[in-house]
Amino acid sequence: MENYIIETYDLKKTLNNKKVLDGVSVKIKEKETFTIIGQSGVGKSVFLKHLIGLMRPDEGEIYIFGEKMDFDNEDKWNEVRKRFGMLFQGGALFDSLTVGENLYFVLENLKPELSEREKIKAIKRALELVELKDTEKMTIPSLSGGMMKRVALARAIVAEPEVVLFDEPTTGLDPITTASINELIFSLKNKINTTFIVVTHDIKSAKYISDRIAMIYKGKIIFIGTPEELEKTDNPYVVQFVNGLSEGPISV
Amino acid sequence: MNRFKEILREIGNFFIFFIETLYYFIENFKKPVNIIENVYNIGVKSLPVVLSTGFFLGLIMGLQLSDALESIISGTSQYISGALSVALVKELGPVFTSLIVVSRVCSSVTAHIGTMKVTEQIDALKTFGINPVGFLATPRVIAGMISLPILGFFSIMASMIGAWIMIGLIGEIPLGVYIEIAQIPLRVKYIFESIFKMIVIGGFILEISTFYGFEAKNGAAGVGEATIKSVVVSSFMVILLDYILGSIFIILAGGTL
């Protein structure tokens, strides 16, 4: 039997009278890179936020590490969150703290049992993994867009999570920086070997980093498969999205 | 009708938020670093503006009132110190200081928390297993409750000094007389009432400003809107709470002053 780390069943969520999720059921395996693609505003980020308990579904169930999650039990969610890391769309770095302090803050709260020396070692390791050595003292506003993403990524992995969630890791970056972030995610995967769940509308990134890709359209999963299957599919929605055509069944 | 529903929803949310901040009170006192930092930001940094506005309030009150009293019966301007001390301790001091704190602190608190909300920093806090209300709101509310009575004390003192400088200049009243007359109508009870009032108002205005920070949505415009609401509602609540608490004190005293 396959070991599923996250399972969702028939998730439904309505925001501002709009059905954002309309019955999303997925099973995510351990140690795979699972990517969710789709147009902007179809509920990809909303789905991701359900997985870490930042939003509660109107209907449906979520199982994490085989346990059913109860949205009224914040303590249980906090236990799960200790095993998760999340890269936010805009970075969501605390701008009153330096790069090092941002990472330290995470360890202080998620791994209070570590000694001071171990914490500093973990911070150094995380920054090395994202190729930003010796930047602990830099302030957040002084970072460039690409660096900010890297620091946010370092913050997401510093506590050695078992699952890392990526919300649009390459949005708003130039093509070269995008490529380098993709490369980074790919190499990071080999180094820390955990489950990655990525949300993106960047089809190139998705193909490059993913083991499996799912596409969301109108709140429903309309395709799940490997990048090769994505190439070969004749699903008209997927074909239109992958090739970036303005004409097809998807209307803007 | 929609607007009415929106207001009801907001009041309901505020109530839940209020209880949530109270829930994290004890936890925050166990690790007071956050409280101390906020007392510095809310209290200590407000001191210059509270002192200077209080002082000028005293100056103008001294000038106008002594002039008025002098025009009724000449040679009586020293008696305004008694009226001033009671007015300042009971009403003017708490309300005036609170309004200054609203304009300086509440706006910045709402904008700060609101920006954190729209840039997902609040969500990030949650993913680190931190309750954002306990971490961001409760220490600020406690800091407000600690800071406002102290700021109020300094403001009242600055006003009394300001008034004395005016009366001393015009009416040549010696300081000893001024202080003595100021004490005659003042009662210890008034001072306790004033402190209590400022603790309640200080906590409440920070409840409101942190609440609107958490309510902010839809980017920079949303933060701006939240800040407006925060300042307007806090200012209004300062006056309303002053009225309610003042009435309660009178009722508790059996209808007499």
- pLDDT digit string (tens) for B145-173? 999 999 999 999 999 999 999 888 777 78
* Max CA pair span of chain B: 71
Residues forming beta bridges with residue B149, ordered by sequence position:
none
The alpha-carbon radius of gyration of chain B (Å, integer) is 21
- What's the Cα-to-Cα distance from B72 to each of B66, B68, B185, rounded to whole Å? 10, 7, 21
Chain B touched by A123 (CB under 8 Å): no
Tell me the Ramachandran region of residue B166: left when phi exceeds 0, alpha when psi lies from -120 to 50, beta otherwise: alpha
- Find residues 168-197 of chain B whose CB sits inside 8 Å of chain A: none
Set of chain B residues whose Cβ sits within 8 Å of the Cβ of A91 = 119
Contact B159, B58 (CB under 8 A): yes
Chain A touched by B124 (CB under 8 Å): yes
Set of chain B residues whose Cβ sits within 8 Å of the Cβ of A110 = 128-129
Per-residue confidence (pLDDT) for residue A191, from 0 to 100:
82
Contact B64, B166 (CB under 8 A): no
Per-residue confidence (pLDDT) for residue B195, from 0 to 100:
94
Q: Is the model more confident about A5 or about B237?
A: B237
Per-residue confidence (pLDDT) for residue A2, from 0 to 100:
66
Residue B193's pLDDT band (cuts 50, 70, 90): very high
Long-range (24+ apart) CB contacts under 8 A made by A231-238 are none
Report strand pairing: A212-217 vs A220-225: antiparallel
Q: What is the rounded average pLDDT of the residues B171-198?
A: 89
B164's enclosing H/E stretch is helix B138-171
Does the pLDDT value for residue B212 go beyond 90?
yes
Residue B256's pLDDT band (cuts 50, 70, 90): low
Task: Give one DSSP letter per residue of B201-246, joined into a string.
Answer: HHHHHHHHHHHHHHH--SHHHHHHHHHHHHHHHHHHHHHHHHHHHH
Chain B touched by A73 (CB under 8 Å): no
Q: What is the rounded average pLDDT of the residues B213-228?
A: 91
Per-residue confidence (pLDDT) for residue B16, from 0 to 100:
94
> Could you give the CA distance from residue B228 to residue B212 in angstroms, rounded to a whole number?
9
Across the interface, whether the CB atoms of A92 and B119 are under 8 A apart is answered: yes
Contact B170, B77 (CB under 8 A): yes
Per-residue model confidence as pLDDT tens digits over A57-89 = 888 888 888 888 888 888 888 888 888 889 988
Q: Exposed/middle/buried for A93, CB within 10 Å: 0-12, 13-18, 19+?
A: buried
The pLDDT mean for chain B works out to 91
Chain A touched by B31 (CB under 8 Å): no
Residue B198's pLDDT band (cuts 50, 70, 90): very high
Per-residue confidence (pLDDT) for residue A232, from 0 to 100:
84
Residue with tokens 């969501």: A92
Q: What is the rounded average pLDDT of the residues B17-38?
A: 90
Contact A133, A144 (CB under 8 A): no
Set of chain B residues whose Cβ sits within 8 Å of the Cβ of A74 = 131
Q: In chain B, what percentage of residues exceed pLDDT 90?
A: 65
Per-residue confidence (pLDDT) for residue B2, from 0 to 100:
86
Long-range (24+ apart) CB contacts under 8 A made by B20-24 are B20/B131, B20/B133, B20/B134, B20/B137, B21/B133, B21/B134, B21/B137, B21/B138, B21/B141, B21/B207, B21/B210, B23/B134, B24/B131, B24/B133, B24/B134, B24/B137, B24/B138
Q: What is the rounded average pLDDT of the residues B20-25?
A: 92
Contact A104, A127 (CB under 8 A): no
Per-residue confidence (pLDDT) for residue B257, from 0 to 100:
55
Residue B243 CB coordination number (10 Å): 12
Across the interface, whether the CB atoms of B124 and A94 are under 8 A apart is answered: yes
- What's the Cα-to-Cα distance from B200 to each of B44, B65, B95, B138, B245, rounded to whole Å? 19, 30, 12, 14, 9
Torsion of the alpha carbons at B210, B216, B220 and B226, rounded to the nearest 10: -60
The alpha-carbon radius of gyration of chain A (Å, integer) is 18
Residue A249: both structure tokens together = 């069944």
Per-residue confidence (pLDDT) for residue B207, from 0 to 100:
95
Does the pLDDT value for residue B224 go beyond 90?
yes
Strand positions, DSSP E, chain B? none
The stretches in chain A having pLDDT less than 50 are none
Q: Is A220 helix (H, G, I), strand (E, B) or coil?
A: strand
Set of chain A residues whose Cβ sits within 8 Å of the Cβ of B124 = 86, 88, 92-94
Set of chain A residues whose Cβ sits within 8 Å of the Cβ of B130 = 109
Q: What is the rounded average pLDDT of the residues B7-16?
A: 93
The ipTM is 0.85
Q: Is the model more confident about A244 or about B180?
A: B180
- What b/e sequence results for B87-120 when a residue is b if at least 16 CB atoms lie within 10 Å of its CB, and e otherwise? bbbbebbbbbbbbbbbeebbbbbbbbbbbbbbbb
Q: Exposed/middle/buried for A103, CB within 10 Å: 0-12, 13-18, 19+?
A: buried
Per-residue confidence (pLDDT) for residue A186, from 0 to 100:
85
Chain A touched by B218 (CB under 8 Å): no
- Cα angle vertex B121, ends A118, B202, to 5°? 105
Q: Is the model more confident about A191 or about B125?
A: B125
Set of chain A residues whose Cβ sits within 8 Å of the Cβ of B126 = 53-54, 81
Contacts of B195 by beta carbon, 8 Å cutoff, 6+ apart: B149, B152
Chain A touched by B128 (CB under 8 Å): yes
> Could you give the CA distance from residue A64 to residue B80 in angstroms, rounded to a whole number?
72
